Homo-oligomer: A and B are copies of this chain.
Amino acid sequence: MHNSANPSGSLSALTTPCLLLDEARLQRNIDRMNVRADMFGVQLRPHVKTAKSTQVARRIFGDATGPITVSTLREAEYFFADGFDDILYAVSMVPAKVARAAALARAGARLRFVTDDMANAQAIAAAAEREGVHFEMLVEIDADGHRAGLRPDDSRIVDIARSLQSTPQLRFAGVMTHAGASYDCVGAAALRVHARLERDAVVHAAQALRDAGLACECVSLGSTPTLTFVEDLSGVTEARVGVYVFNDLVQSNLGVCRLDDIALSVLTTVVSHKRDTGRLIVDAGGLALSKDHGTARQAIDYGYGQVCSEDGHVLPGLRVCEVNQEHGLIAAVADTDAAAMFDALPIGTRLRLLPNHACMTAAAYESYHVDTACGWEQWPRCNGW
């Protein structure tokens, strides 16, 4: 039993602000990415940091478990408790975290860690030896200068892999990359180029390892934008994607999804009319929406959220222009629409707000209120560290 019925049982009974999840859109987003992974013959290892929900993750695997990517050890513990036992922790591992991870390994989890540093890999090996556990290690490759990792032609990749292979506590399992600069690309053409760059980087590194006589079983990559547009994944074994399950305004601006593919929204109530400044005030602010302003430099700056009616229809031209902790300020994009906004949306009206960045918005909530074919359900999340 993974779903708990919402005792209140209806949208109108929910208190605001709260987090809504549209099950039909979620399923469509999941199905679409599963089709792509099948088409390219790669294993999907979804990044569960977006939803942090075992119910959402199980949907990806047809109500079963499967390999996952996590961003915190708490997620690893939470998902392992629900049967997810093949876990990649995709933030560079450090020795101080080995003791906590070792408890999971002893309980039967197959844990994979990433690093890009030789001395650190050796320190992790020493810590694993003290704990008497075994881990698998991937070397992180930097495809596009976005964040961590070694450039694909860096000779240290082979050095670290060789060192890991001679370490009894750690098994060198392969290479991984995340082309995070894909978020700076817009549209299909640019994203196809960036997706090729991501694939080439990690396949190039894998080839260098094999040329050096090392096995490289796992060749892992992924981001929602690149996976949506990639044309060739030959040489790649697995893909890690996260935000596609929900989508958001940033993804919409990138061309990854349409507004009606966004499965996540925040339910809010109009609490004040500020006619002299042209602002409608709602009870979803910087905590309920997050202060992520990821659309600020994109084609459409949605402020802190796109306004929709309570039943989910986009109200074009109404956006959250400013947020304080528990106040959101909505403005009409065209000043001439302000009077109509106040007339149409009296105090007490409920609205849905589409988020800029689903991962950040969802993190403020303990659970999702899920609109399913069988009524409203409440699905918990795993927050914190």
- The interface of chain A, by Cβ under 8 A from chain B, is 15-18, 49, 71-73, 91-97, 100, 115-117, 119-120, 123, 140, 142, 145, 147-149, 151, 180, 269-274, 276-277, 279, 281, 283, 286-288, 290-293, 324-327, 329, 346-348, 359-360, 363-366, 383-385
Contact residues in B for A385 (Cβ distance below 8 Å): 15-18, 288
Contact residues in B for A287 (Cβ distance below 8 Å): 360, 363
Q: What 8 A-B pairs are tightest by C-beta distance, nearest first?
A: A92-B271, A71-B326, A92-B272, A148-B272, A291-B292, A291-B291, A120-B347, A91-B326
* Chain A binding surface SS class: loop
CA gap between A119 and B272 in the complex, in Å: 11
Asked, given contacts A94-B348, A364-B384, whether A147 binds B116 with beta carbons under 8 Å apart, the answer is no
Q: How far is the CB of A362 from chain B (nearest CB, A)?
A: 10
Quick check: A147 and B281 within 8 Å, CB to CB? yes
Write 11 A-B pairs (CB below 8 A) sorted by A numbering. Answer: A15-B96, A15-B97, A49-B325, A93-B271, A94-B348, A120-B347, A140-B272, A145-B276, A287-B360, A287-B363, A288-B385
Quick check: B327 and A148 within 8 Å, CB to CB? yes
Determine how many copies of this chain the complex contains: 2
Asked, given contacts A100-B15, A293-B291, A360-B287, whether A365 binds B347 with beta carbons under 8 Å apart, the answer is no
CA gap between A72 and B359 in the complex, in Å: 23
CA gap between A38 and B346 in the complex, in Å: 42
Contact residues in B for A276 (Cβ distance below 8 Å): 145, 151
Contact residues in B for A117 (Cβ distance below 8 Å): 272-273, 347
Quick one: closest B residue to A123, CB to CB? B348
Checking B147, B270, B364, B366 against A324 with a beta-carbon cut-off of 8 angstroms, the contacting residue is: B147
Quick check: B347 and A272 within 8 Å, CB to CB? no
Checking B123, B140, B329 against A147 with a beta-carbon cut-off of 8 angstroms, the contacting residue is: B329
Quick one: closest B residue to A296, CB to CB? B293
Quick one: closest B residue to A367, CB to CB? B384
Quick check: B147 and A274 within 8 Å, CB to CB? yes
Quick check: A269 and B94 within 8 Å, CB to CB? yes
Quick check: B325 and A360 within 8 Å, CB to CB? yes
Quick check: A49 and B326 within 8 Å, CB to CB? yes
Contact residues in B for A149 (Cβ distance below 8 Å): 272, 274
Quick one: closest B residue to A75, CB to CB? B326
Contact residues in B for A292 (Cβ distance below 8 Å): 286, 291
Contact residues in B for A93 (Cβ distance below 8 Å): 271
Checking B116, B180, B271 against A91 with a beta-carbon cut-off of 8 angstroms, the contacting residue is: B271
Most buried by B among A277, A291, A325: A325
